[in-house]
């Protein structure tokens, strides 16, 4: 890639996506849309996005391990079924119909948004990251299914993990985000390898966008700890509302990205 304008767009958008994905989720919609605006086929965009995903979540995981926010043994227990599911999902991911995508995203985002609105734990915020997680047999099944979804579609995976970890494991949203980032970091390289072997990865796009993701993840990891549970909760709700508005047709993120790209160019 020798177009410095495109490189700058990839890095700057990567910063935004890195912040969104680390604090909440849903940033992959921006990445995928941008890649396709820049000319990548949807299958290549799906594979290329995983480079940035790995780089971003590696960055946030290192930060949270240093802050003793992650119990590694618990994280690896949940990561193993996610890896198996991720490989299976990636092997099945030839094409994803718009109908399946819309249904999955609508269900996941609606469930998280409802929880964010009505849950009461944020009124007595307590971050309990770093302690062993109470893992039940059903959780292994959940993370196997989450891994499959991540390998197959990926977009919205962060929200799906938040649902499971907050509802069934009784985690605060910051600890849930820490677990989310670790699981995605451990599982995604396996699906990335499958896309690489299938020739569906643009390395230049992925690495430049990944650089921005790393910068965004570094910033977001800091503000999550500095600004606390209430900030993360409201930020997540805001991102959810924007993504939901895009899904139901109130706004079009694709059109907005097209317009922004044309204006800057």
pLDDT single digits (tens) 108-146: 777 767 766 766 554 445 456 678 888 999 999 999 999
Contact 240, 112 (CB under 8 A): yes
**Is the four-CA dihedral 34, 35, 40, 45 of positive or negative sign?**
negative
Task: Give alpha helix (H) positions in the chain.
Answer: 4-23, 28-37, 42-66, 72-92, 98-118, 137-152, 157-163, 173-197, 203-247, 253-264
- Provide the pLDDT for residue 23: 81
Q: What percent of the chain has pLDDT over 70?
A: 86
- Provide the pLDDT for residue 124: 45
pLDDT single digits (tens) 156-207: 788 888 888 888 888 888 888 899 999 999 999 998 998 899 898 999 999 9
Question: The domain containing residue 168 runs over which residues?
Answer: 4-264
Token couple for 209 = 């966008």
Domain count, the chain: 1
Lowest model confidence (mean pLDDT) among 21-25, 104-108, 198-202? 104-108
DSSP 114-151: HHHHH--GGGS----TTSPP---HHHHHHHHHHHHHHH
- Provide the pLDDT for residue 3: 83
pLDDT single digits (tens) 35-61: 988 888 878 888 899 999 999 999 999
Could you tell me the pTM of the whole model?
A: 0.81
- Label residue 214 by pLDDT band (50, 70, 90): very high
Contact 30, 17 (CB under 8 A): yes
pLDDT single digits (tens) 56-104: 999 999 988 888 888 899 999 999 999 999 999 888 765 556 676 667 7
Using CB atoms within 10 A of its CB, is residue 107 exposed (0-12), middle (13-18) or buried (19+)?
middle
**Residue 1, pLDDT above cutoff 70:** no
């Amino acid at each position: 890639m020798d177009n410095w304008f495109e490189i700058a767009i990839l890095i700057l958008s990567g910063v935004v996506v890195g912040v969104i994905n680390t604090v909440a989720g849903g940033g992959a919609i921006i990445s995928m849309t941008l890649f396709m605006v820049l000319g990548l086929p949807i299958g290549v965009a799906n594979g290329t996005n995983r480079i940035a995903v790995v780089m971003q979540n590696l960055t946030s995981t290192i930060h949270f391990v240093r802050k003793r926010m992650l119990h590694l043994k618990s994280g690896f227990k949940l990561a193993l079924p996610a890896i198996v599911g991720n490989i299976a999902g990636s092997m099945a991911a030839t094409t994803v119909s718009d109908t399946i995508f819309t249904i999955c995203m609508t269900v996941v985002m609606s469930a998280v948004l409802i929880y964010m609105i009505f849950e009461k734990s944020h009124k007595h915020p307590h971050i309990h990251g770093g302690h062993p997680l109470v893992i039940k047999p059903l959780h292994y099944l959940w993370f196997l299914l989450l891994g499959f979804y991540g390998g197959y579609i990926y977009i919205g995976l962060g929200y799906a993990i938040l649902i499971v970890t907050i509802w069934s494991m009784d985690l605060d949203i910051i600890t849930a985000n820490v677990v989310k980032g670790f699981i995605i970091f451990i599982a995604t390289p396996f699906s990335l390898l499958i896309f690489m072997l299938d020739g569906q990865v643009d390395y230049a796009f992925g690495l430049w966008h990944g650089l921005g993701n790393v910068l965004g993840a570094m910033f977001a990891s800091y503000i999550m700890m500095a600004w606390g549970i209430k900030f993360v909760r409201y930020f997540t709700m805001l991102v959810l509302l924007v993504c939901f508005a895009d899904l139901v047709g109130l706004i079009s993120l694709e059109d907005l990205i097209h317009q922004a790209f044309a204006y800057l160019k």
